[in-house]
Structure 1
């Protein structure tokens, strides 16, 4: 490789200068580019330094190629950043999709509506908005409970849902479902839910409140059972006001309301093949006692035991029914805690401890199942029964008084273990 010495020039004949006889202590580095003259000595003549550099060192990058390399590296860095960013966004999206169902999404789930098919929705008496929302969600009427509750709140109907049976659609928009439940029909009605075992005064109170009709109108009619073609034994409408859910047209008066209820009871008696008015009254009396003394699972068995006491009395029962439920009805109280003197009081016409046979009339409003059980009692050997668990309705039966006392002891033990339940 030829050498170019900074600050020196060859002779005019082109002969390069001779090397000095001594080596400098610190030789200057060889430089292929003369910053002052921009010439190089090569092959015995001067040539431009840049030309010599490009021709002889083509494998070394030029300044231009260096700038190109920087741009390539910059593009590669940008591309790498873009790939990382896209990957990050993909991860975030995936995590959101996984977590979103657990959080209920970023907005409340709701169907676009209007829905399809037909779904029957039953709203019970006293059902809250949340209870209704849960029912609608389980039937797939609405997409979420929250959507329904928000729509109900916006409609101002939180406390305005009336009990009843509603025809709705599957996958409705929540606001549409609310509109159905809160719709004011041109065919307006008075809703009344009459529970089983209610006494006549309780039923009349409920009817007056539900219909807005005067309580006195109901009371006057209830004390005149002949207005409804009832048997002579009937002193009032006790036992004839059938329990159930009613929607009375608003134009009905008190008599129209009571007539509907009495007619339903008459139909239940006829369906149970009891057509004689006097026998109907007797069956209603037994049915009302059955509802207070047991539950649906043992209605017929209790009915058979009642028939045994009345029609086939043994030495221990002597024809006395001995029902606590009848005694407290005659006393006008709800508690089964009454005194020995009250138990022995014959002046109470509903006291079946002091008076043999059935009481003078029904003690509540029996449902159709109790009516059927009273009309068709189970044939059995029992004379005694006692419910030993008031929560489950478990009832034990006995043929003798001694066996019955053992069952009563179980009831007493249950009462001690469940304070306040046996009042």
Structure 2
């Protein structure tokens, strides 16, 4: 009987534990705090509070996402984009207060590599709450940012990355910081002459738009090869990306008429040499590739898979045509992606 009673008691305990776990009764809803260590969390534009709470839970900042959401509501916080440094195992109310306090003190925005100037200025205007017309006026006078005469605007010079500025920072100071970051990136790559910086930045912007990341060096090498005397390209870069930039579009399908349009200053199918300037903001890898291109004999390249960025290179036009056929096959198998 004693043995039977022990089994009943043990079974009851196990059953209670299982039921408790199933009902979430053993879940820790909050940490005692104050926590330790550092956890960096970036709140992107458009991110919802629940998503942030789940990330904080996953990163070990708070014990329970729902508890954090309630705590954030209690402090009357308003979620804004920005970068925040939390601790591991914080009390939910402390984490909520940190998020509520810090997000009102900074201007935060993120610019991805390859963005065109207008896209970057739109992002800055919205995030910094500045008049876009003020940005346009500053953009029209690139010399005030120390740029060479070849630069007619800030295209290519607004460095990609995440930025945080104190609330109230002047628009000119924001743009100056981004331009400075680009110039420093060029100097780090060994390019110190302003005119040469403009040339390298132009090549880098084409590399950013045209090549898969692993092939940046080869694309840069091929571009420079095209600028040298050769018997196949007549000094023409023949970049679709530059043509679409001049057209103000982003299509990857160009008509013969568009490629023959001499009125498009960025049409590198008819105008020899590089276009007048950058066609977007290149990332650091593209800048490094343009500053130090991979030595090769290639004159042609084509991205044959728009999902992976896989790029094929060729020394002759005949080889290139075979690669173009591979790209066309990929387009046929992936309806809508090449539109």
Using the size of structure 1 for normalisation, the TM-score is 0.74
C-alpha contact 1:328 1:334 (8 A) present in aligned 2: yes
1:372 to 282, 285, 288: 288
SS of the residue 1:321 aligns to: coil
Counterpart check, 1:341 vs 2:260:
no
Q: How far off its partner does 1:107 sit?
A: 5.7
What is the distance in 2 between the residues matched to 1:100 and 1:301? 61
SS of the residue 2:295 aligns to: coil
C-alpha contact 2:62 2:95 (8 A) present in aligned 1: yes
CA shift in 2, pair 1:170/1:383, >3 Å: same
What is the distance in 2 between the residues matched to 1:185 and 1:416? 47
What is the distance in 2 between the residues matched to 1:422 and 1:121? 35
Aligned twin of 1:93: 13
Aligned twin of 1:21: none
Segments of structure 2 that go 5 or more residues without pairing to the other structure are none
What is the distance in 1 between the residues matched to 2:32 and 2:108? 32
Counterpart check, 1:327 vs 2:243:
yes
Counterpart check, 1:132 vs 2:52:
yes
1:183 to 80, 101, 105: 101
What is the distance in 2 between the residues matched to 1:323 and 1:404? 14
CA shift in 2, pair 1:249/1:308, >3 Å: same
Deviations along 1:50-70, one digit per CA (max 9) or x if unpaired, are xxxxxxxxxxxxxxxxxxxxx
Counterpart check, 1:234 vs 2:160:
no
Counterpart check, 1:110 vs 2:26:
no
Deviations along 1:10-60, one digit per CA (max 9) or x if unpaired, are xxxxxxxxxxxxxxxxxxxxxxxxxxxxxxxxxxxxxxxxxxxxxxxxxxx
Number of residue pairs the alignment of both structures matches: 338
What is the distance in 2 between the residues matched to 1:231 and 1:337? 33
Counterpart check, 1:255 vs 2:172:
yes
SS of the residue 1:183 aligns to: helix
Segments of structure 1 that go 5 or more residues without pairing to the other structure are 1-79
Q: How far off its partner does 1:230 sit?
A: 1.0
What is the distance in 1 between the residues matched to 2:335 and 2:103? 48
Mapping of residues 384-423 of structure 1, within 5 Å = 384-423=300-339
Q: How far off its partner does 1:331 sit?
A: 0.7
**Cα RMSD, aligned residues only:** 2.3
C-alpha contact 2:225 2:298 (8 A) present in aligned 1: yes
What is the distance in 2 between the residues matched to 1:162 and 1:405? 46
Mapping of residues 132-211 of structure 1, within 5 Å = 132-155=52-75, 157=77, 160-164=79-83, 166-184=84-102, 188-211=105-128
CA shift in 2, pair 1:380/1:130, >3 Å: farther
C-alpha contact 2:113 2:283 (8 A) present in aligned 1: yes
